[in-house]
């Protein structure tokens, strides 16, 4: 019996140590609301080691306390020239880190954000986009592709404590 329990603990430990996701948007998300943070509908997985990403709520939930590396990317189309476009990682519903760029043509624009953050077990991460195009303007779309609009999260270390 104790051999079985140890085997299960080993499997659980291995899955937690291999916590990593790469998810993307596979369905149209058009007409983002201007001057508002819009959650990106990341509804498809390339991989999800540990099963920690919810493709209906579009969020990652940390299975263990530790340091995580996060990369978010959003490709915008139907741009308004000379306006700013931002991408942010939200932690537990609040802005954690963001990146921004300005459109110089009206074709498309990819904005990325990357950070290493300390997460407690059950903290959750979401990807948001903010088109600074003015209130009432909702013409900006998200490009549907796994190579341009995605979220990558990897557990770096479950060791240590927050400083």
What is the mean pLDDT, run by run of 10 residues, along the chain of 163 residues? Answer: 54 64 96 96 98 98 97 95 95 97 89 97 97 88 95 90 57
Residue 14 domain flag: no
Residue 27, both tokens: 């369905």
Write down the pLDDT at residue 120: 96
What is the domain range of residue 83? Answer: 19-157
Residue 33 domain flag: yes
Residue 6 domain flag: no
- Is the sign of the CA dihedral 137, 127, 108, 142 positive or negative? negative
Write down the pLDDT at residue 4: 60
| pTM score of the predicted model | 0.87
Write down the pLDDT at residue 128: 98
Residue 64 domain flag: yes
Residue 113 domain flag: yes
Into how many domains does the chain fold?
1
Residue 95 domain flag: yes
Q: The CATH number of the domain where 133 resides is what?
A: 2.60.120.40
Please give the backbone phi and psi of residue 39, each rounded to the nearest 5 degrees, phi first: -70, 135
Residue 8 domain flag: no
């Amino acid at each position: 019996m104790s051999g079985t329990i140890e085997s299960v603990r080993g499997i659980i430990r291995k899955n937690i140590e291999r916590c990593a996701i790469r998810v993307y948007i596979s369905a149209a998300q058009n007409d983002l609301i201007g001057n508002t943070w819009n959650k990106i509908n990341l509804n498809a997985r390339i991989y999800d080691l540990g099963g920690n990403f919810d493709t209906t709520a579009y969020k990652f939930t940390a299975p263990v306390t530790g340091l995580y590396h996060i990369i978010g990317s959003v490709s915008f189309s139907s741009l308004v020239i000379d306006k700013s476009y931002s991408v942010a990682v939200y932690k537990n519903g609040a802005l954690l880190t963001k990146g921004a760029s300005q459109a110089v043509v009206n074709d498309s624009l990819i904005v990325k954000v990357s950070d290493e953050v300390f997460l407690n077990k059950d903290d959750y991460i979401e990807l948001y986009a903010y088109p600074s195009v003015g209130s009432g303007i909702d013409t900006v779309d998200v490009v549907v592709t796994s190579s341009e609009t995605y979220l990558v999260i990897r557990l770096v270390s479950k060791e240590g404590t927050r400083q």
